[in-house]
Each structure stands twice: as structure tokens, then as C-alpha cells.
Chains A and B, each alone.
Chain A
């Protein structure tokens, strides 16, 4: 009898679940924000894993299958996903998730973008993002803006839940405000201190924490560091008292270890996103880890 009920539940559940809006995001960080806003009202799935470098996801046709039935696609934008998302969207046959579509929300449109190139851009500068730095989810203020934009879009697509989405986005903003105060207090001893990153992934984190970057291990975006560049970094580290080398866990730590070994700066590995480590399941946990590890190393 119990088995029969379980079988029945399995049959019925997909039908019930089908009534929920299906939201697909490109990254787990965005999925975490959608979860904050939608709760159980929507199903949420990310195309990439948090342990993955979001620049280099495969355009696996299985992902087009996920996009086919998406009621909303939330992407980061600013060319972060340009190496894999566009052909998947075409392949999905879901015209409404095309850029600018009713069911497409590009998170970058909700925030102020930093690192926008001001002069001429070409690839002698590396594989940079001509529209600006896409790694804005390390800033809780911007995350709250994205959550609000998600709430508005979900409200338009699922008017029955509009009040719920907006209330949850507002509650998330409130929690981020409280957490921001807590995180800033925790980072107070590190204020003004300098760090290196592998890629320019922490620009927005530095923007709200008051920490400073003294450079990147990559001489230019996507370009591997030659020994001369690492030597420069060691000199900079000594001169400017760089305390930490922060590297997402999808990068090799070889160069960072070399610079850390000579300069005395601490190597800090961080998850690249929500889901980048098994214990990091929510956006708040992700920032908790960033703040405690980076703050701890710079203290």
C-alpha cells in the first residue's frame, strides 16, 4: 500500500510541479537569489555548477533541453556566458528567452557595472569583457538589486505570486542590510589592506568592503602569468604589504603558491560561487565564507 502511494505520488508530483514557474539560471549564485525570491513558488535550476569557471562551461546540448521548458532564464550578461549560452538558447527553440525577451532577465541590467573600459578595446588587453566586469554578485548590495529585478520579472510572469515575490525580495534586502553591517564589522581590522586575485573577480567585493587590490596573477584576463610577472607581483607584495592571494577553487594554485611562498602573503582559496563548496548552499553562506577567509587572512 505504501509503495502504491509512493508510486502515485511520483506520478502526480510532476504534474503538480508543472504548475510552478520553471526558472533556469546560468550560475548557482543567480539560482540562490531566485530561490530567495521565489521560495517554493518556482522551481530553480542552474546550468553551471558553482565549482565551475562560468567563462568556460560547455555548450552541452543537455543544457538546451533544460532551457526548452524554461519560463524564465536569468543570466549574468556582460559576455560572461558568451562562449556557451547563445547557441544553447537558439537550440532550445524557446524564443521568449532570447536576449531582450519577455522571459529573459539579464542580471547585469539591474546593477551598476564597474571596470567598464573607457578607451579602445582589443584582445591585446586579454580576453576582457568589453561591457564591464560581470562578477558583481560578490556585492550584497548588487545582489539585493538583482533579487528585486527577479521579483519584478516573476511578478509579471506569475501575477498570482506578485506580492509574495516582492515581499521576499524585500525581506532578502533587509537580511543583506543586517549582514552587511555584520560583515563590515568583521572586516574592520582588514580595512585598507591589500590583496591579489587570480582574475578580476573581486572588484565588487573590494568596492563594498574597502579592501584594495594590488594586482592580479593573470597579467591580462585569461592570460597565464609568466615568471617575470610573478616576480613583479612579489616585489609589489613586499612594497605594498599585500596580505592575501585570493584564488577561486576552480583555478590552479600553482602561481599563487609561488608568489605566496616568496612574498609571505597568505594563499586563500575561496568558492567561486554559491555551490562552489558543498557547505556553501545559500548566498549568505557564500559571502560569509568570503568575508571570514579573506578577512581572516588580512587581519
Chain B
């Protein structure tokens, strides 16, 4: 690395030396808008006493955006996602999905969504998180939830419109995924054609068990819609999520989910899922490796359709602050008309985190249908975030 940098540096150095000779006032680059190196040096060391450190500041005592707090504004953020996409397969017909794709052989530019977030505590008892998504299909309230802060006995209630806490990916917003899209397995099993995420208005009661590891049990009831324009139907869910720490660097999470959707006239859709997440991050750095996988099962009762199984497994390696690489294998029932069997998809992603607030990804996938038809997809994906710096979910 140094051998590449040094010659370039030497050249730049000459220029910089010249520039600085002409401009003696060229100050060191300021990191903060406050005067950079102008830390007022004390004239002389005071006589062995502590008083020179002045009184506490009147600034807001920490937390996000102190100025916004003063004005009682919620934290506002916007996250934009856009992509250039090329598909070598007629995805619209042979592998219909909610994610970004182009017509066969015709590259396309797509604005996936702009997600506007408004987040704040409501009062001492609850906080609210509202996410509105603006996309090519229009605007939609993705999530709008009230979360209790002070229920007793380790209980926490979320009410409003929420992503169903079924498995790992479904409960996350797209911009926190390692890959630019969701695996086919999730939407083929949890949703019908055209559905993006299992969600809907309802309640999610979560109990944090009083044990030395993380053990959370969710009971949720929601009216979910599984396809665009479909009818809402009551869905009940149980989820058990556990995390264990193995040493200072490794954390393992395992979740089990079961849900039943009442589809009327004695018909039900039963869903089951297992999700596993393993993250290894030595504390001294930004690099980490993670393994993640989910299995989804579905069985229809009292209506057409049998049982289905699908899943994915992925590995992601974050190399320092700026780079990340991942691979994913995905298997799901084919959704192509007249083609029965399992569709397989292999994806690889390279991520470049330009800063905490921008990332550029190149994702290449190979899609193979059960009848042997196949195709490659390439996705150049840009994501940015402005406004309040939200925390990264684990």
C-alpha cells in the first residue's frame, strides 16, 4: 500500500510545500467548525489545584441532536435507495418478485424508495417511530408504532402499523440489509405475488425474560396484507428470540417464529420459521464476520395449496470501516407459471461504505429455475442517509 501511496505523496508534497510557502496562514484542516488548533493554552500552570476547569456547560446533556431537543422536534431522517439494474432473465414472468429488476436484457435505472423517518419519545411512557416510504408506486406508511417504555415485568408493547416480527429480515428495513435485496425465500413463503413485507396494523407484546442471556418472547396480532391490493386478515404470531455471548467477540442469536393467518371460511395459512445469526467482531476494530440463515415453512389448511419450504444462508465480511463482502445462497419454490420445483439463486455483493451515511454496492446474482432456465442479474446500488443518525440494529 505504502509503495503506491509514497510516490504520489512525494509529488503532492512538492505542491503542498509550494502552496504553504505562499500561504503561511494555511491552517491545519479543521475537523470541527470550532477553531481547530486554537485551544486556549493556559499561560502558566496554576498552582497545583483543580479549579481552572470552568463550570459545566449549559448544553443539552448528550443524546441525539441537542438543538432539535430544545425545539422539541422529533429526529428527522431520510434514506434514499436507488439502483442501476440489468437482468439476463425475464424476471417479471419467470421469477416475479417485489425487489428491483429490469426487463430481460434491458438495463434500467430505478429509484427504489425514499424513506422518511420521524422518531421521538412521546412522553415519559412511550416513544413513536414513523417511517413513510415514497417509491415509484406512491407513498405508504411502512411503519408507525408507539412503543411503551415503562411497562412492568420486562414487558414492552408496540402498537400501530408494524413489520411482523417473523424471523430476522422481515422485521428489518431494507436499508439495514447486507444485500441490496431480500432473498426470494422470504417473500415466496411469507407473502403472495406482489407482496413486499409481511406487515400490518396491530399489536406486538414482547417480554424480556429475567435470565442472564437475551431471551425475548413476542406475542403479536395484526391484520396483514400479503399481496398488493389484497384483503387484510388477522394474523397471530409467537416468536422466541435468544442471544448468547460467546467470549468478548462472538454473539449467537437464534429465533423461532410461528404464525397463523385466518383466511376466512375455515381456511388458514400456517407459517413457521427458524433464524440464526452469528457475528464475530473482535472489540479492537471495525471488521467483523457474520453468518445468517433462515428457514421458512408454510402450510395451507382448508384451501388450495400444500406445504412449502424455503430458505437462505449468507455470509458477510466487513473489512474495516469502508469495505464489505458477502455471498448468499437462496432456495425457494418457483413462482413461474407452469414450472414446479425449487428456484435457486446465488448472489455475491461488494459494499463500499464511503462514510457512515453513504454506501455503494455491486451485487451480482445467478438465478436458476427448476426447468434449467437461468440468467444473471447485476445491480449497482446506492444508498444514502441524511438527518438524525439512527443507530444500527444488531
Contacts and interface: CB of A to CB of B under 8 A. Distances in A.
Do A and B interact? Answer: yes
Interface of A: 48-49, 51-53, 56, 58-62, 64-65, 68, 75-87, 90-93, 95, 98-100, 106, 108-121, 123, 125-134, 139-142, 144-145, 173, 176-178, 180-181, 184, 192, 199-200, 203, 206-208, 210, 212-216, 218-224, 227-236, 238-239, 249-250, 252, 254, 257-258, 261-262
A192 B43 CA distance: 11
16 contacts: A51-B284, A58-B392, A60-B245, A77-B62, A95-B150, A128-B32, A131-B62, A207-B40, A210-B41, A231-B9, A231-B16, A235-B16, A235-B17, A235-B20, A250-B285, A258-B5
Given A68-B208, A231-B12, A141 B32 contact: no
A133 B39 CA distance: 12
Contacts of B45: 181, 184, 210
Of B9, B244, B248, most buried by chain A (CB within 10 Å of CB) is B9
B137 interface: no
B40 to A, nearest CB: 8
Contacts, number: 270
Given A49-B248, A99-B63, A180-B48, A212 B39 contact: yes
Contacts of B251: 58, 60, 62
A230 B9 contact: yes
Contacts of A100: 61
Given A140-B50, A258-B6, 17 more contacts: A48-B283, A49-B284, A51-B283, A56-B321, A61-B394, A82-B63, A83-B356, A98-B121, A109-B57, A109-B62, A111-B53, A112-B53, A112-B54, A112-B56, A130-B65, A132-B57, A232-B16
Contact of A210 (B42, B61, B150): B42
B13 A61 contact: no
Given A60-B251, A114-B39, A199-B31, A234 B13 contact: yes
A257 B9 CA distance: 13
Contacts of A113: 57, 59
Nearest to B41: A210
A131 B66 contact: yes
A13 B27 CA distance: 59
B253 A200 contact: no
A171 to B, nearest CB: 13
A228 B15 CA distance: 10
A79 B50 contact: no
B389 A82 contact: yes
Which 9 pairs, one residue from A and one from B, show the smallest C-beta to C-beta distance?
A77-B62, A215-B28, A95-B150, A109-B61, A141-B53, A231-B12, A106-B61, A106-B62, A181-B48
A171 B218 CA distance: 49
B392 A117 contact: no
Interface in B28-42: 28-29, 31-34, 36-37, 39-42
A273 B361 CA distance: 34
Interface of B: 1-2, 5-6, 8-10, 12-13, 15-17, 20, 26, 28-29, 31-34, 36-37, 39-42, 45, 48-50, 52-57, 59-67, 121, 124-125, 127, 147, 149-151, 154-156, 208, 210, 212-214, 216, 243-245, 248, 251, 253, 279, 281, 283-286, 320-322, 355-357, 386, 389, 391-394
A210 B231 CA distance: 70
B63 A106 contact: yes
A216 B31 contact: yes
A213 B36 contact: yes
Contacts of B149: 90, 93, 95, 98
Contacts of B33: 117-121, 125, 128
B23 to A, nearest CB: 11
Contacts of B50: 140-141, 144, 173, 176-177, 180
Contacts of A65: 208, 212-214
A127 B356 contact: yes
